[in-house]
Amino acid sequence: MPLTADEQVLRHDVIVLGGGLAGMRAALEAARGGADVAVVSKVYPTRSHSAAAQGGINAAFSAEDSWEKHAFDTVKGSDYLGDQDAIEVLCREALQDIMELEHMGVIFNRNEDGRLALRPFGGAGFPRTCYVADITGQAILHVVWEQLVKARITCYAEWVATSLVVQDGRCRGLVALEMRSGKLHTLEAKAVVLATGGLGRIYEPSTNGLICTGDGMALAYRAGAALMDMEFTQFHPTTLYPSGVLITEGARGEGGYLLNSKGERFMATYASQRLELASRDVVSRAEQTEIEEGRGVNGCVLLDVRHLGKKVILTRLYQIYELAHDLAGVDLLEEPVPVRPGTHYQMGGVKTDVDGRTSMPGLYAAGECACVSVHGANRLGGNSLLETVVFGRRAGKAAAEEVRQVPFAGLSSAPGRDEHAHITELLQRGERGGLRSAVVRKEMGNAMREGAGVFRDSEGLAQTLETVRGLKGRYQKVAVQDKGGIFNTDLVSLLELGNMLDLAETMVVGGLARQESRGAHFRRDFPERDDINWLRHTLAFYTAEGPRLEYAPVTCVRWQPERRTY
């Protein structure tokens, strides 16, 4: 019997699923609130994908800037789909949260006067992005991890959550597979905080790490919680060909140019004011248009930073200098690097309020896996790291407060035993030569890129939906070659694929229904934004037949929708 089930139930007041920035920040805050906290993560926390965030984290620190201006830029960036009450929280609390990161030990770059330096970023009216060269995410992730070590918070690393435990409509914990031992554990909690990050691997290619498979979103969805705005997926304008690895927006923030095959700075045609620093949806569509109209270079456009000089490139952009060298064979000091739009970030996610509460009691979410919604239809660069710390903290605080009133339900180890039976069955599926999960995943990824990419229309979306549903059928026949219990990545890939297929369906169904163009969701058959019918959030609920959609109003407090130009 390769897999085993733990007869013991592990109990913690608060269990945070995910060890990236949002998760660790939530765990720290819950611990400060007096709760017994554990982090469950499928990788060791420092391996989380927050580490890949390069450019920076936003707050209105400069004298001429204000949180209101930051909020307005975010609202405009969101194409008015972001909830303005949530955006206000994000931008107001940014200042203090970033100061706290600094006090924890983040080595932010400084000005001459020793205070935090700021760089310009896309869609922002002022330089307001704090940074650590182009390793900002890593530098923050590691420091928050240091705080986790300092606070001696329990961490179950390399544990893969397989399901949430729900009793009487309340989330009571989860079941997780410990990869090192092949043991399934039942973990009981008075509150669970989901912080599992993005789902970029649904697309092929993607800037996201291989671990970004939307696990938390899928667990919440299947458990009955509402997903929101899943049709909004961000395509980052500068990803490396062919690997899809990210080149920071900081490259353009520092003054880099985008050029077409004729050597023209084509952004002048699409965003005459902000040029390369228009919002990401605008720049990605511009690039895609240039490529489709024959002014691309082998399916890419060119990012040129040579004029910034050696010093800027090697001190502030040194990571991308290395990546371009290692993965594309390009010396950024000597030549431009080919880039193209690539899947980068999921604006949608598990619907939450500003304290991370989902539609299910006892279940919280924060970070990319959540949808508060602060990013609406398009996220601004530098706002995702910010979201993780602001809403991670708030979710952790709210969870710690709630658990003071909630007793343990006294779960038995039955959920773990049930999961054990189910997964053992999966493990017995197929032999060598059977259908591989990677085949299904790639078909899904290609279909999503083609039908639910930078440009969409009803025909393409409908076809993608058919493909995804077909793949869900074939998923039942995927073979697991590795029959072992210890560190079975073949099995984990299968579980991840199941999560991704469920989520892909919500993304396409949501996109097909939304007959307008807003932010990152651009419908060629409905090229205009339609505030009368579509200034509203899409909610998706799980049913056995596929997602059931509902709609919810957008909170507009200060700013009414206006025409959006850059």
Partner 1 sequence: MQAHLRVRRFDPEEPAPQPRYQDYTVEAEDYFTVLDALIKIREEEDGTLAVRCSCRSSVCGSCAMRINGHATLACKTKLTDASKGRDVVLVEPMGNMPVVKDLVTDLQSFWDKVWAVEPFLQPQGPVPEQEYLASNESMVHLTGVMNCIMCGACVSDCTVLAVDPNFLAPAALAKAYRFVADPRDGASKERLRALSQYGGIWDCTRCLECVQVCPKDVAPMDRIMTLRDKAMQAGYTSTYGARHTIAFSELLKESGRLDELRLPVMTFGIFNLPRMLSLVPVGLRALVRGKMPPIFHRAIPGVEHIRRSFRSAEAKR
Site for partner 1 in 174-193 (CB under 8 A): 180
In the bound complex, what is the minimum distance in angstroms from residue 157's beta carbon to partner 1?
Answer: 9
Structure token digits, residue 288: 């895609």
Torsion of CA 254, 255, 256, 262, to 10 degrees: 170
* 110 versus 310: smaller Cβ distance to partner 1: 110
State how beta strands 183-194 and 159-167 pair. Answer: unpaired
Distance CA 517, CA 2 (A): 50
Residue 110 Cβ vs partner 1, minimum distance, rounded to whole Å = 4
Tokens of 39: 């982090």
352: tokens are: 């939450």
- Give CA–CA dist 504/501, Å, rounded: 5
Cα–Cα dist 487/490, whole Å: 9
Nearer to partner 1, 158 or 304 (CB): 158
- Choose, by CB under 8 A, the member of 64, 112, 425, 528 that binds partner 1: 112
Query: How many angstroms separate the CA atoms of 445 and 452, rounded?
Result: 10
Please name the residue that has the structure tokens 């407090």. 557
Q: How far is the CB of 199 from partner 1 (least distance, A)?
A: 14
Structural Rg of the chain based on CA atoms = 22
Interacting span for partner 1 (CB under 8 A) from 25-33, 82-90, 95-103, 276-284: 95-103
Catalytic hit among 236, 280, 441, 449 = 236
CA 302 to chain centre: 26
Question: Out of 9, 60, 211, 217, which residue is the one contacting partner 1 (CB under 8 A)?
Answer: 211
Q: How far is the CB of 322 from partner 1 (least distance, A)?
A: 7
Among 4, 66, 154, 243, binds partner 1 (CB under 8 A): 243
Dist. CA 114–CA 474, nearest whole Å: 58
- Angstrom distance (rounded) from CA 59 to CA 3: 48
Q: Does 310 bind partner 1 (CB under 8 A)?
A: no
Please report whether residue 49 would count as binding partner 1 according to CB under 8 A. Answer: yes
Give the shortest CB-12-to-partner 1 separation in angstroms.
20
The burial of 459, by beta-carbon neighbours within 10 Å (0-12 exposed, 13-18 middle, 19 or more buried), is given as: exposed
Active site residue 375: no
Q: Closest distance between partner 1 and the C-beta of residue 284, in Å?
A: 20
Cβ proximity to partner 1, 56 vs 415, nearer residue: 56
Q: Does 31 bind partner 1 (CB under 8 A)?
A: no
Which candidate in 70, 201, 252, 394 is catalytic?
252
CA–CA separation, 238 vs 250, rounded Å?
10
Q: Which is nearer to partner 1, 50 or 162 (CB)?
A: 50
DSSP structure string for 378-444: SPPTTHHHHHHHHHHHHHHHHHHHHHTT-------SHHHHHHHHHHHHHHTS--TTS--HHHHHHHH
Nearer to partner 1, 234 or 506 (CB): 234
Q: Is 486 in the site for partner 1 (CB under 8 A)?
A: yes
Per CB under 8 A, which region of 67-75, 86-94, 204-212, 511-519 contacts partner 1? 204-212
Phi, psi of 297 (to 5 degrees): -125, 105
227 binding partner 1? (CB under 8 A): no
Cα separation, 516 vs 532, whole angstroms: 11
From candidates 455, 487, 541, 559, binder to partner 1 by CB under 8 A? 487
Least distance from C-beta 413 to partner 1, angstroms?
Answer: 23
Provide the mask over 434-473, with x wherever binding to partner 1 is found by CB under 8 A and - wherever it is not: --xxx-----------------------------------
104 touches partner 1 by CB under 8 A: yes
Tally the residues of the chain: 566
Residue 344 as a binder of partner 1 (CB under 8 A): the answer is no
CA atoms within 13 A on the CB side of 27: 32
Cβ atoms of 97 and 114 within 8 Å: the answer is no
Position 485 contacts partner 1 (CB under 8 A): yes
Q: Identify the residue among 62, 269, 272, 315 touching partner 1 (CB under 8 A).
A: 315
Nearer to partner 1, 179 or 228 (CB): 179
| Euclidean distance between CA atoms 55 and 410, whole angstroms | 45
39 by DSSP, 3-state: which? strand
φ, ψ dihedrals at 547, nearest 5°: -65, 140
Residue 51 engages partner 1 in binding (rule: CB under 8 A):
yes
Q: How far is the CB of 224 from partner 1 (least distance, A)?
A: 29
Strands 370-371 and 349-351: parallel
**Phi, psi angles (nearest 5°) of residue 413:** -85, 15
Query: Which C-beta is closer to partner 1: that of 137 or that of 511?
Result: 137
Considering only residues 116 through 155, tell me which ones interact with partner 1, judged by CB under 8 A: 116-117, 132-133, 135, 138-139, 142-143, 146-147, 149-150
Q: Tell me the pairing of strands 159-167 and 57-58.
A: unpaired
Within 374-433, the residues that bind partner 1 by CB under 8 A are none
Q: Is 344 a catalytic residue?
A: no
Among 292, 293, 322, 335, the residue binding partner 1 under the rule CB under 8 A is: 322
Q: Which residues contact partner 1 by CB under 8 A?
A: 2, 43-44, 46-49, 51-52, 99, 102-105, 107-117, 132-133, 135, 138-139, 142-143, 146-147, 149-150, 180, 209-211, 242-243, 245-246, 315, 319, 322-323, 326-329, 436-438, 480-482, 484-490, 493
Residues marked as catalytic: 236, 252
